[in-house]
Amino acid sequence: MPRMTITLSEQRQQALREAAARRGTTIAAIIDESLEACGVKSWQEAEDLVAQARARAILTEDEAVDLAVRETSAVRRLKVLRETSTGRETSSA
């Protein structure tokens, strides 16, 4: 397995050591679990996941894109409403 060197604050390193000891596991295992929980995947794993989703899909590709656009727009509208109601300015990105 390849090795990697990372730079962490003393506090983060100590927290990782303590978490590993409490769980009876290694720091590497905690980092690996964290990356998995954040959805960090290899290119092949991501392609496999997309292939599985497509195989189970009941929507055509066009229907899926349309749904994604509608849902994204709805989330953005909600974000603008929340920011407006709290008095924060929204930025166009």
What are the C-alpha distances in Å from 77 to residues 65, 73, 84, 90, 92? 18, 6, 10, 11, 12
pTM of the predicted model over 0.75: no
Domain co-membership, 54 together with 71: yes
The enclosing domain of 13 has a CATH number of 1.10.1220
Domain co-membership, 31 together with 12: yes
Domain co-membership, 69 together with 92: yes
How far apart CA 63 and CA 46 sit, in angstroms, is 21
Domain co-membership, 52 together with 16: no
Query: Which residue, chain included where needed, has tokens 């929980």?
Result: 37
Determine the residue type at 60. Answer: T
42-52: pLDDT as tens digits: 888 888 888 88
Domain co-membership, 30 together with 47: no
Q: Which of 7-11, 38-42, 57-61, 65-69 has the highest mean pLDDT?
A: 7-11
Domain co-membership, 34 together with 48: no
Quote the domain boundaries for residue 86.
43-93
Q: How many distinct structural domains can be found in the chain? A: 2
How far apart CA 33 and CA 15 sit, in angstroms, is 15
- In this prediction, residue 23 has a pLDDT band, given cuts at 50, 70 and 90, of very high
